[in-house]
Structure 1
Amino acid sequence: LSVEVLEQRRRILGIEHPDTIKAVSNLASTYSGQGRWTEAEKLEVDVLEQRRRILGMEHPDTIKAATNLASTYYYQGRWSESEKLKLEVLEQRRRILGNEHPDTVEVVANLATIYVKQGRWTESERFFVEVLEQRRRTLGNEHPDTIGVAASLAVTYQHQGRFSESEKLKVEVLEQRRRIHGIEHPDTIFAAANLAVTYRTQGRWTESERLGVEVLEQRRRILGFEHPDTIRAASNLAVTYSGQGRWTEAEKLNVEVLEQRRRILGIEHPDTIRAVANLAGVYRKQGRWTESEKLEVEVLEQRRRVLGNHHPNTILAAANLAATYQCQGRWIESEQLEVEVLKQRKRILGIEHPSTITAAGSLATTYREQGRFTEAEKLEMEVLEQRKRILGIEHPDTIRAASNLASTYRIQGRWTESEKLFAELLEQGKRILGIEHPDTIEAAANLAEIYYDQARWEEAATLLSPTVQQSIKVLGQQHLKTQGRLKKLALAYDKLRQRRKARETRALLISDSSSQSAPLSNLDGP
């Protein structure tokens, strides 16, 4: 119908008549609603040029045309172009309508959202706080627009690593939306999804999974399997499974998400690239490093081209590729990327941001594996102190930091310090993560390494025997870490003259080359 109306108006009224231009704008809106961004953009560029020429820069219809085009750029992931137009619109609306007019406030909120996409958290926070204060004052605490900006501010806090502030706001938003809209309203489901992400970043896997499963089931039932929000819910749940060490479930969901995003959004859309990165991360955790590297190189090249070298997601892609190089023992390539990642994160995010601390931990692991123990220990001590202070002693990231430091002690032959830390970590892992979590298995294997290095064969075999079974169950028999643990267990049985057990254990080895394992404590990856 929109196409027919446009053709009639062009024929009868001419291409520059206001009603014809309005028909073009309406057709562009239809295309936008269908996700046909290229077609929408072409029409919106024409509308904006005509309205600027005929009506002038400050006419309300011209400003609306600029807003529409900026939104189309946003949905295409073209943040800089979107920002440029939105800043023009904001300046005009502040001058013409004033700071507190709803249309002005809306543009401030839109700009804050663009800054989130660009990883400009400080600017994003400043704009969201401004909008939240204005909406609370003019609309009240329970107006949908007020609740919406509170949710957005909570996401910004999360990106800044301010988890307590983020959680507090998200819980408030979820409670308000359940009370006002009901549990199956899209906004309520969205609030539950956001809270699940915050729980995940805090290492609260059970709470995150419970909400994530609930969100995915609701979105599949209400929106269908191929709606962008449903696909996003599947992606988020896959990340939670990955954090729990449930690689098979994570891989299955990630493959589904990637296939859908490639088909619906195209291969260069930011969400498609993120899906590739998530699948690569699962492959890395499974020890499928060639597959992981191939995907991560692809992601890094795309993000550099689409987002630029300094975007947080580009930096994350470099960090992920460095982690895979670590697993492959390619220390020079790993170090080169990690030094650059740490430098950029310090400059962009600050020295105490979780991602900056993670980068320092990853670089420390590379130093350790190169035999640069003094540099490794210095960085690992800093990382552990920061994580204890910011996250608490029982957060999974704090536990990983302690494990990395313990590994540095072990390699230097500082058995007492290393054993004490690994024993504490094993108990924490059992209590917090469960005995079958990869990090708990890693802690047990590392403590067994201490016993092994000191020729304490009985203790090594006693600990390695159940650890190997858990490793086979969780990682698979062919995983390089499993193979390395099997070889160590067989050697311990040899030392104890338990020949039958040694033979049975060796029967599970694929080959001698398969037992070469990745760095024992490559636990602080991105």
Structure 2
Amino acid sequence: MRQGDKDAAKSVFHGVLDKEGASVALAAYQLGQMAEGDLNYAEAMRMYKKAVVLEEDKPEYLLAAGKMARKLAEFKQAQEWLEHLREIREAEGDGANLGNVLNELALVYKDQFQLAKADFLHRRALDVREKIFGEEHQDTAESLNDLAFLCREQCRYEEAESLFKRAVDTREKIFGKDHPDVAESLNNLAGLYRTQARYTEAELLYQRSLEIKEKTLVPHHPSIATSLNNIAMFYKNKGKYFDAELLYQRALSIKEKSIGEAHPSFAITLNNLVNLYRDQGRYIEAEPLYYRALNVREKIFGRDHQHIAGSYEGIATLYKNQGKCAEAEHLYQKAIDIKERLLGKDHLSLAVTICNLADLYQNQEMYQEAEKLNSRALYIREEILGKEHPSVANSLNNFANLYRLQKRYAEAEPLYQRALSIMREKFPGGHPKVDRYQKDYDELKQKMAEQQAAATQEKNHV
């Protein structure tokens, strides 16, 4: 391995696997590390599992296995290993190693939308790291950043902004103002502003983040591509499709040269570009690229992973927009099956796919089927996020639109009102969705007025 002869090293490690003793677990762990470096996550997981089975109390093996299980969306397994590692580290006392596992375990709970547990663990990890390292340390900044993401997920925007700003300040004190880690923190703060529709502030931070990376990193560094991808998403949301396309293409070119096509990050940017084509109605260009992204993901994650479900969903939406309803329904169902099997039947990611399928049924005037799915999505979102979350408002608005199409105006009206109330409270400075929901509600009021006028006219005629 030190000589760089990976093939010879793999051969020797494989020769140890059928032996006995601690060396077998070490060989499996090293093979897992090599497979992970090669982006062969399925093989890495297989080797890490073997190492943990052979030495179930070895911290290095548990951490590597837990992280890989999270990456492969095997959240229950990740939780089991990391909880065991947490017990080991807590027995040692409040050290740096405990802070690491608490933070990693918090991310696993966040991925399962067990947000209260994630919040507790992130805050404890931050407390441990601040006590050990102080406020000006990279691990402390990492905890601030991860806790901020969680707060954003819960719509606690003021707290999220404060934490992101603290992470920026901490990294500036450690590294100076022109450092890639500072750029990453600025990028995260920009993402929060974009969520809040604070577009002017977001764009300034995105551009500053990119400038720092371009000044401090080599021209084809993957981190530059990540910034380009994020700015492209921002432009897409603003309807600046031409600018977004140029940035996506530049990001793809950088990733192809730096990390290659067979990398999850390449597939993400490729998928974003294809979504842009789809939203512009450029279906002929989009379809082969969707399948290209799907093939990349299948090579990395296998065929039973939430990223595969995401690819199916993207292609299904493409077919839905083209009026290919049968093909779209089949792929939405496949995506739902994968998510239910991997994530459970009450996962937030599942609610998104269910809403998309409901919209497909609604377009076909299959209102009963659409209503059942919208009801299920609303239940999932309220249970996980609470009743005053923007995602809940989205479900309420979908329900109201469905009722309006069926001329069930009296049932639609309170749902529109509740959706608008949630969004106005969460985004007092305004938000594009507030405008869209208001437009939908105005159309309902117009329909109700027309219905009332027709009823009055008929009564007068009689």
Q: Which residue of 2 aligns with 1:52?
A: none
Q: C-alpha deviations, 1:163-208, integer Å up to 9, x for none?
A: 211111111111111112x23x111111111111211222223322
Q: 1:409 aligns with which of 345, 358, 361?
A: 361
CA distance in 2, matches of 1:123, 1:149: 15
* Cα pair 1:325 1:333 within 8 Å, conserved: yes
Q: C-alpha deviations, 1:425-449, integer Å up to 9, x for none?
A: 2233222221233321211111111
Amino acid at match of 1:420: K
1:300 corresponds to 2:252: yes
Residues 122-141 of structure 1 correspond to what in structure 2 (within 5 A)?
A: 122-133=42-53, 136=55
* Cα pair 1:444 1:463 within 8 Å, conserved: yes
Question: Judging changes above 3 Å, is the alpha-carbon distance between structure 1 residues 91 and 374 closer, same or farther for their aligned structure 2 residues?
Answer: closer
Cα deviation for residue 307 of structure 1 reads: 0.9
1:486 corresponds to 2:438: yes
Amino acid at match of 1:154: G
Query: SS in structure 1 opposite 2:397?
Result: helix
Q: Which residue of 2 aligns with 1:421?
A: 373
Cα deviation for residue 112 of structure 1 reads: 2.3
* Cα pair 1:239 1:278 within 8 Å, conserved: no
Q: 1:163 aligns with which of 70, 75, 80?
A: 75
Q: Which residue of 2 aligns with 1:207?
A: 117
Q: Which residue of 2 aligns with 1:504?
A: none
Residues 379-458 of structure 1 correspond to what in structure 2 (within 5 A)?
A: 379-458=331-410
Cα deviation for residue 380 of structure 1 reads: 1.1
Question: Judging changes above 3 Å, is the alpha-carbon distance between structure 1 residues 335 and 231 closer, same or farther for their aligned structure 2 residues?
Answer: farther
1:495 corresponds to 2:447: yes
Question: Judging changes above 3 Å, is the alpha-carbon distance between structure 1 residues 422 and 91 closer, same or farther for their aligned structure 2 residues?
Answer: closer
Cα deviation for residue 396 of structure 1 reads: 1.0
CA distance in 1, matches of 2:148, 2:418: 28
Greater displacement, 268-277 / 156-165: 268-277
* Cα pair 1:476 1:482 within 8 Å, conserved: no
CA distance in 2, matches of 1:116, 1:385: 27
CA distance in 2, matches of 1:86, 1:481: 53
Q: Name the count of aligned residue pairs.
A: 406
Cα deviation for residue 463 of structure 1 reads: 0.9
* Cα pair 2:13 2:28 within 8 Å, conserved: no
Amino acid at match of 1:175: E
Question: Judging changes above 3 Å, is the alpha-carbon distance between structure 1 residues 440 and 219 closer, same or farther for their aligned structure 2 residues?
Answer: same
* Cα pair 1:287 1:480 within 8 Å, conserved: no
Question: Judging changes above 3 Å, is the alpha-carbon distance between structure 1 residues 108 and 423 closer, same or farther for their aligned structure 2 residues?
Answer: closer
Residues 71-110 of structure 1 correspond to what in structure 2 (within 5 A)?
A: 84-89=4-9, 109-110=29-30
Q: Which residue of 1 aligns with 2:316?
A: 364
Cα deviation for residue 414 of structure 1 reads: 1.2
Larger CA Rg, structure 1 vs 2: 1
Q: Which residue of 2 aligns with 1:196?
A: 106
Q: C-alpha deviations, 1:463-504, integer Å up to 9, x for none?
A: 111202322344676543332211111122233349xxxxxx
Cα deviation for residue 159 of structure 1 reads: 2.2
CA distance in 2, matches of 1:485, 1:494: 14
Greater displacement, 305-314 / 467-476: 467-476
Unaligned ranges ≥5, structure 1: 1-62, 67-83, 499-526
Query: SS in structure 2 opposite 1:496?
Result: helix
* Cα pair 2:305 2:338 within 8 Å, conserved: no
Question: Judging changes above 3 Å, is the alpha-carbon distance between structure 1 residues 238 and 120 closer, same or farther for their aligned structure 2 residues?
Answer: farther
Unaligned ranges ≥5, structure 2: 168-183, 189-208, 451-462
1:177 corresponds to 2:89: yes
Question: Judging changes above 3 Å, is the alpha-carbon distance between structure 1 residues 434 and 110 closer, same or farther for their aligned structure 2 residues?
Answer: same
After TM superposition, the score normalised by the length of structure 1 is 0.66
Q: Which residue of 2 aligns with 1:148?
A: 60
